[in-house]
Structure 1
């Protein structure tokens, strides 16, 4: 039960990195994002997210606020054509060391790899790797608002609304 929550935290962190100031801004509209996790819990999931500049900025701010509270290191920089994030954070008494690398133009696509090691192991996991690929599909569909995330099976939530509630 907690492993999916860890994966979700990693996804939000990765989204924050992708939205960070050092990365080119993602184009507003509907994005298809595929997350593929390797061992110890292989899983691939594709979702769609409606975004605009305001919701990407909110994701960045939320990620940075969490990092300030939990991380002794949180650096985002450019290395050639890559946007790289390195962090060392305390999560539930475990030190999580993460390196994320993203490439792409962010107006039509981007790809990334997020590698995390846990010391001591968290819930039996020594580490985790996630590969992310995203592509712009076009304008958001009728009835969608920025922040809406559409998961497989029809589940829908608004990430921006959740982030605003966390701030209160």
Structure 2
């Protein structure tokens, strides 16, 4: 993968995955900074819709299967990524909102994203992240862009999903709880069975992790 985000070998989809993961990093790092159970997501399957001004196909839908253990692993990964990739980051709690300001690199590229994000909603049902970023050097010819991420809890994870699985818009699957390289780089990594991945507990209706609120 090219080190330059403007390179033709760095496809738009990979760039958008990096931005998606950057927002997740800021979200979970914000939760770590607040040390508040209120920002622990409910276990199960979440649908995440991302609307961006940076792509022609503006709305993409992801699915995320989580439990408390995988979300805690993602929080730790997010904190590590923030420490490694972000020059500055500031989290301010404003009532029921979290306001995040950060300057971070996009994956292993040379592009620096200066991001202002506001997180609202309830982590046991639905939450929203509204962000605006500026890029230096530009991303796909753009110097700035806005992103809206809307997530809602949909129920139990599906039988073929493991905690930490993210199903990408193109159908590929990666596990952010067990594959740090994929999470850090936004690599589209289809998943097969892994001996080190957490085993799913199957019940009627699919994998049902313990519910946390």
Shorter chain as normaliser: what TM range?
Answer: 0.7 to 0.9
The answer as to 2:23 corresponding to 1:14 is yes
User: Which residue of the other structure, out of 38, 60, 65, is the alignment partner of 1:45?
Assistant: 60
Task: Return the structure number with greater helix share.
Answer: 1
SS in 2 for 1:160: coil
Task: Structure 1 unaligned segments of length 5 or more: list them.
Answer: none
User: Which residue of the other structure, out of 75, 83, 88, is the alignment partner of 2:98?
Assistant: 83
SS in 2 for 1:15: helix
C-alpha contact 1:59 1:163 (8 A) present in aligned 2: no
Larger CA deviation: 47-56 vs 61-70: 61-70
The answer as to 2:48 corresponding to 1:33 is yes
Task: Return the structure number with greater strand share.
Answer: 1
C-alpha contact 1:110 1:133 (8 A) present in aligned 2: yes
Alpha-carbon separation, structure 1, partners of 2:171 and 2:110: 35
Number of residues of Structure 1 aligned to a counterpart in Structure 2: 167
Task: Structure 2 unaligned segments of length 5 or more: list them.
Answer: 1-9, 185-213
What's the TM-score, normalizing by structure 1? Answer: 0.85
Q: Which has the larger radius of gyration?
A: 2
Change (3 A) 1:43 1:53: same
Alpha-carbon separation, structure 2, partners of 1:122 and 1:143: 35
**Counterpart mapping for 1:86-125 below 5 A:** 86-91=101-106, 92-125=109-142
